[in-house]
Amino acid sequence: MSAGAQTPHKKAADLPLSVIIATDCGSTTTKAILIEKQGDTFRQTFRGEAPTTVEAPFEDVTRGVLNAIAEVEELSGRKILDGEKIVTPAGAGGNSKAGVDIYVSTSSAGGGLQMMVAGAVQSMTGESAQRCALGAGAIVMDVLAVNDGRLPHEKIERIRSLRPDMILLSGGTDGGTVTHVVEMAEYISAAKPRPRLGMTYSLPLIYAGNTQARDRVTEILGKKTALVVTDNIRPTLERENLAPARNKIHDLFLEHVMAQAPGYKKLISWAGAPIVPTPAAVGFIMEALAKRDKINLIGVDIGGATTDVFSVYGGVFNRTVSANLGMSYSVSNVLAEAGLANIMRWVPFDLDEQTLRNRIKNKMIRPTTIPQTLDELQIEQAIAREALRLALIHHKSLATGLKGVQQERTISDIFEQKASGGSLIDMLKLDLIVGSGGILSHAPRRIQSMLMMVDAYEPLGFTTLSVDSIFMMPHLGVLSTVNEKAATDVFVHDCLVYLGTCIAPIGQGRDGEKCAEYQIVFGGNREPESGTLTFGELRVMALGDNERAQVTMKPAKQVDLGEGKGVPVTREARGGAVGLMLDGRGRPLQLPADVKTRVAALSRWHQAVGLYPR
């Protein structure tokens, strides 16, 4: 958990730029985008993509980068490459259609950054270390702690078998426990851990724990690892200080991990800004958006193998990655974790278990196939709802206040005592959801993206929803480290597609009973609309992009819209590709248990909002 600690390499002043080429080297595809200044505004103009070439037979990431840029060259008519070099600056040789001012890139190729973290107490320094590594864009392979329930030899076996790219060791507040930190260092030393890539270099290990244990830790691990000592991530129980360790993770990622990956030395030499792990770059842009609009937001990137969730609440940034929740490689794991019944509850027809299980497994073994029939699309979107839901549950469990902090209580707290370390994610205080990833960005109808997120997240009260048009948040995140205006301009104009606002009253009632009365005042000459939203009802009203409406909701006496039961609420709602969604299905959302009734309810809702063609 940290505020404003996301852009370690940010330069003091924005670089003067007019043409930018940016790439994201993903595990399967390398995506390039061209950004050009048009008047005062930066716009994304062309894009190209090519298969990533980290693996054999190429084993050189720059091949894929050159191919993706070559596609941009072809489409834009701009000469960007001179053989295997990027032509800089823009306008080189007096040709206005030649060159770019800067090349920037992110990377998650070769499995991204994989880390193991260790702390003294699991729920305290262990969690802080986990948040630190996740915020830096890593996949956390395991969290080890003195009290993690494993016997010493099990911990040592685990450390040895993991082969991470890097280890983050924390533990103890400054002046606190030394013994437990040294104990963890001894286990790491006994395991003789080896890095995942490269046989010849020492495993990078960052020590960010109790300052008084530094000498001992250096004595134990100094010769066995590439040890880097930095500030304690938990100097006191009440304070987390993740930025120094995060910056070190980014530095070591470049110096050690990426330098071992095929072709990256060359790629680093081309780039005008440090290459950052893809999820870290997405974090930069999420944080910048929340800061600019002074809002709380949740961002999600649902990929084939993993689902990343980002949140910014009250300026506090958190990221989690659910490493095995995804729509292709990990699709079967969504079934394993969510259970068949939870997936089936979103499918608007009945299907026998064996057929569904076989279909999901067939998607897992042939992950690049696409749904050809409507039934198949509906099943995939049902699975996506569960992957999104589970990833948010995971995120809520880690995006918490600090645990172990003493709280001052007064007599008034007697009836509402909460333990320290509660989740920061309050759906009622959420302003914006940003969805990204193929299933959300490329859904045939935008309403499908919106309803998938509404069903999975069950937003409360007024919440705006949006999607990333084409996956360019990583590019913009790394660009924001050198020119924030360019990144923001493109993000607002070309990246983010607003879907609209969901208005969801909190409460339960029988179908057809009054949930809330509404009055909607639109801009321009459009007539105001008013009416009653009943329980069990889902409806959508058109409200275009850049349009806003003043919405007054008068909830029934047992229903809450954020100001208390029965208290009317008036707020401005933003439109978008879908418009205003009035969700009277109740919160928490409860679907009928009986198959026939549930299928009927789903079909009714889907028809009401025009979710599918029939």
Write out the residues near other proteins by the rule CB under 8 A.
27-28, 52, 54-56, 109-111, 152-153, 156-157, 160, 178-179, 182-183, 186, 189-192, 199, 216, 305, 324, 329-330, 332-333, 335-337, 353-354, 357-362, 364-374, 376-377, 442, 444-445, 613
Tokens for 354, please give them: 């064996």
Q: For other proteins, which is the closer residue by CB, 239 or 361?
A: 361
Nearer to other proteins, 190 or 237 (CB): 190
**Shortest CA distance to 446 belongs to which of 283, 309, 579?**
579
**Dihedral (Cα; 560, 566, 571, 577), 10-degree rounding:** 50
DSSP-assigned letters across all residues of 128-190: HHHHHHHHTTEEEEEEEETTSS--HHHHHHHHHHH--SEEEE--S-TTS-SHHHHHHHHHHHH
Residue with Cβ nearer other proteins (82 or 215) = 215
Give the residue carrying structure tokens 């060259």: 73
Residue (1 or 118) nearer to other proteins, CB: 118
* Nearest alpha-carbon partner for 500 in 456, 534, 451: 451
Q: In degrees to the nearest 10, what's the CA dihedral of 552, 557, 562, 567?
A: 60
CA-wise closest residue to 5 among 289, 241, 296, 278: 241
Closest to other proteins by CB, 337 or 529:
337
Q: Provide, rounded to whole angstroms, the least separation between the CB of residue 506 and other proteins.
A: 34
DSSP state of 51: E
Residue 49 forms beta bridges with which residues? 31
CB under 8 Å to 470, separation ≥6 — which residues?
47, 441, 495
Least distance from C-beta 116 to other proteins, angstroms?
17
Kindly state the smallest distance separating residue 39's Cβ from other proteins, in Å. 32
Closest CB 183 distance from other proteins, rounded Å:
5
Strand, helix or coil for residue 481? coil
Buried b (16+ CB within 10 A) or exposed e, 432-453: bbbbbbebbbebeebbbbbbbb
Give 176 or 555: the residue with its C-beta nearer to other proteins. Answer: 176
Q: Which is nearer to other proteins, 304 or 586 (CB)?
A: 304
Q: Whole-number minimum distance, CB 108 to other proteins, in Å?
A: 10
User: At its nearest, how many Å lie between other proteins and the CB of residue 576?
Assistant: 19
CB of 585 to other proteins, least distance (A): 25
612-to-381, 448, 605 alpha-carbon distances in Å? 12, 8, 11
Minimum CB–partner distance for residue 127 and other proteins (Å) = 23
Minimum separation from the CB atom of position 581 to other proteins (A) = 20
Judged by CB, which is closer to other proteins: 105, or 322?
322
Least Å from the CB of residue 58 to other proteins: 12
In the complex with other proteins, the residue whose CB is nearer, 186 or 255, is 186
- Residue 111, amino acid: G
Cα-Cα end-to-end distance for the chain: 46
Mapping DSSP onto H, E and C, the string for 111-132 reads HCEEEEEEECCHHHHHHHHHHH
User: At residue 213, what is the residue type?
Assistant: A
Output 28 or 508, the one with its CB closest to other proteins.
Answer: 28
